[in-house]
Amino acid sequence: MNHQHRIGLTRREILQTGYSGLLGLGLPALLAGRAQSARAGDAASGRTPKSVLIVFLTGACSHHDTFDMKPDAPAEIRGEFKQISTGIPGYQMCEHLPELAKRANKFAVLRTLSHNDNNHLMSTHHVLTGEIQPGAFFDKVASRDDWPCYSSALSYLRPRTDGVPSGVNLPTFLVEGPLTWPGQHAGFLGQNFDPWQITGDPQSADFRVDALTLAPGIDVPRLDRRQSLLVDVNRQQSQLSEVAQSLRLQKDQQVAFSMLTSSKLSQAFELKRETDAVRDRYGRNTTGQSLLLARRLIQSGVPIVQANIGRVQNWDSHGAIFPTLKDRLLPPLDRGVAALLDDLESMGLLEDTLVMMLGEFGRTPKINAGAGRDHWGPCFFGMFAGAGVRGGQVIGRSDESGAYPATRAYSPNDLGATVYHLLGIPAEAEVRDRLGRPVRLNRGEVIEPLFTGAEV
């Protein structure tokens, strides 16, 4: 579809290639997440809506070996790692998370997240939508019967017209063979409300986002001068204006133009604008640069950004869990998230941005025969910072083996209620399913101790 140019476009070329060629992108992929209707949802609480940055540990990180260690348990439960002190009195973390341990005053650890699933796909849907997958069964792949992810619901209830998407997922799409993970799109709300999906390694020297990349020879100022030409092109195609698809395309064109001429958004993807020192602080790896990109997108006004740390089963350590965590997974996560929290705070963004780090479940208390831990939904952790969260606290505790909550358990539905509360979406908000029936968006309860510190 793209037409290669060295010095720009002529009127004839534009007529030949169409608007999609002019911009060097595929409009359907670019604009799938844009709402065109006037449906509106407002913040009933009267609070300023917050942004949400989800650090998703795909495949599920072990709570025993990171944020909920059991040093007094038998060896087959406590594992190989040592503990180190934090700024939270009496609370210790894994020795391989030293930077986060130093910053414990910035975040809260919730140790009693819980649900009944041990399947990656169903659990991912539950955590990323706040609701159980409709018709759920083992390895039920994504479908348009699924519940919408958080950014899709936000796009539906509070549509934007400023060219900024309601949500961006990066740097991977969770799919493996025939299995596409649910919870990544708008589900029954339809593809018009899907978040943007960025698939590319921000660490790569040639990283670019095709949805925001102009054809060679076109820059934003030159594109701006050509908008009048686009109007002329559309006027000449007036015979198509009676066709619904054409009408929709013209609207899409205006949104695409708005996106591409919004330098703040397009420049968010240009990591080269950051100094080498900043990029080094995050870590010159996919994890670190993905978190840096996520921060830049929050800065540009994207309300929900999800950074998938690894591919679908990155943290799914059924074997050799300790060398995997020590040598490959924990060091870049520790460094990247620490830099993220520091930057958000220094830029004055942390108070308006919820950072939420978790996986789809935990890992089994007992180490298996392959020196790993298996799937475990009954108990897992979440780390939360910003947006009014009281840092320097640990909420709830698990039993002596880390198998079940010993204090109040919180479900992914409660996660959803908390996210929507911070986004300014009323608890009673309704959306329409594929049959047009009104359904309540979420039935969880806000996790109040995150903000009040009332629960020990």
Angle, vertex CA 144, rays to CA 139 and CA 149, nearest 5: 80
pTM for this predicted structure: 0.83
- State the amino acid at position 204 in one-letter form: S
State residue 337's pLDDT score. Answer: 98
330-346 vs 286-299: helix axis angle to the nearest 10? 20
**34 located within any domain:** no
Give the DSSP H or E segment for 82.
none
| pLDDT higher at 7 or 375 | 375
Same domain, 313 and 187: yes
Q: What is the spatial distance between Cα 218 and Cα 5, in angstroms, rounded to a whole number? A: 8
In a domain, 227, yes or no: yes
Mean pLDDT of 201-217: 75
| Model pLDDT for residues 387-442, shown as the tens digit of each residue | 999 999 999 999 999 999 999 999 999 999 999 999 999 988 999 988 899 999 99
Cα 435 to chain centroid, rounded: 28
Higher per-residue pLDDT: 175 or 265: 175
Q: 203 and 226, same structural domain?
A: no
Nearest to 442 by CA among 47, 129, 42: 129
- AA identity, residue 95: E
Q: What is the mean pLDDT of the chain?
A: 84
pLDDT digits (tens, 9 = 90+) for 8-57: 333 333 333 333 333 333 333 333 333 333 233 343 344 689 999 999 99
Separation CA 292–CA 87 (nearest Å): 25
Cα–Cα distance, 65 to 295 (Å, whole number): 27
What are the tens digits of pLDDT across the range 262-290?
567 888 999 999 999 999 999 999 999 99
d(CA 44, CA 388): 18
Among residues 268, 300, 316, which one ends one of the domains? 268
Helix axes 227-236, 11-23, angle to 10 degrees: 110
Token duo for residue 427: 């608890």
In a domain, 39, yes or no: no
Q: What is the mean pLDDT of residues 349-360?
A: 98
Within 10 A of 39 (CB to CB), how many other CB atoms are there?
13
Q: Two tokens at 290?
A: 């993905």
DSSP letter (8 states) at residue 140 = P
Partners of 197 in beta bridges: 169
Last residue of a domain, one of 234, 249, 268: 268
Say yes or no to pLDDT of 447 above 90. Answer: yes
Pick the residue with more confidence: 254 or 292?
A: 292
What local confidence, expressed as pLDDT, does residue 228 receive? 63
Tokens matching residue 419: 């996210």
Q: pLDDT at position 34, please?
A: 32
Number of domains in the chain: 2
Q: Write out the residue range of the structural domain in which residue 217 sits.
A: 1-29+210-268
pLDDT 10s digits, 296-331: 999 999 999 999 998 877 999 999 999 999 999 999
Which of 129-143, 211-225, 270-284 has the least mean pLDDT? 211-225
Provide the pLDDT for residue 225.
Answer: 61
Residue 233 pLDDT > 70, yes or no?
Answer: no
pLDDT above 70: percentage of residues in the chain: 77
Residue type, 45: S
Asked if residue 413 is part of any domain, the answer here is yes
**Do residue 195 and residue 220 come from a single domain?**
no
Residues 216 and 93 grouped into a single domain: no
What pLDDT, on the 0 to 100 scale, is given for residue 161?
81
**Span 50-84, pLDDT tens digits:** 999 999 999 999 999 999 999 999 999 999 999 99
Average pLDDT over residues 126-146: 96
Is 35 part of any domain? no
> Between helices 11-23 and 244-260, what is the axis angle to 10°?
80
Nearest to 278 by CA among 358, 329, 343, 365: 343
Task: Give the pLDDT of residue 244.
Answer: 43
- 111 and 24 part of one domain: no
Mean pLDDT lowest among 105-114, 199-208, 374-383: 199-208
CA-nearest of 353, 352, 266, 274 to 307 is 353
Selection from 195, 220, 217, 197 nearest residue 209 by Cα? 197
* pLDDT at position 103 over 50: yes
- For residue 215, the model assigns a pLDDT of 60
- What pLDDT is attached to residue 434? 87
> Which of 142-146, 357-361, 373-377, 425-429 bottoms out in mean pLDDT, i.e. has the lowest?
425-429
The answer to whether the CB of 441 falls within 8 A of the CB of 427 is no
- Least confident segment among 114-123, 201-210, 295-304, 422-431: 201-210
Of the three residues 245, 268, 291, the one that is the final residue of a domain is 268
Q: How many C-beta neighbours within 10 Å does residue 356 have? A: 26
In a domain, 88, yes or no: yes
pLDDT for res 234:
56
Domain-located, residue 229? yes
Inter-axis angle of helices 244-260 and 227-236, to 10 degrees?
A: 180
Residue at 50: amino acid letter:
K
Contacts of 306 (CB under 8 A, 6+ apart): 53, 54, 56, 128, 151, 167, 168, 169, 170, 195
Per DSSP, 441 falls in state: S
**Cβ atoms within 10 Å of 92's Cβ, excluding its own:** 16
CA gap 129, 153 in Å, rounded: 9
Residue 283 covered by a domain? yes
Q: What local confidence, expressed as pLDDT, does residue 8 receive?
A: 35
Same domain, 263 and 252: yes
Regarding whether 243 and 349 lie in a shared domain, the answer is no
Pick from 409, 6, 455, 25: nearest CA to 255: 25
Please check whether residues 191 and 216 belong to one and the same domain.
no
Q: Is residue 329 located within the same domain as residue 184?
A: yes
Cα–chain center distance at 330: 19
User: 153 and 224: one domain?
Assistant: no
Please tell me whether residues 333 and 356 are part of one structural domain: yes
Based on the fold, state whether residues 107 and 215 are members of the same structural domain.
Answer: no
Q: The domain that contains 56 carries what CATH number?
A: 3.40.720.10
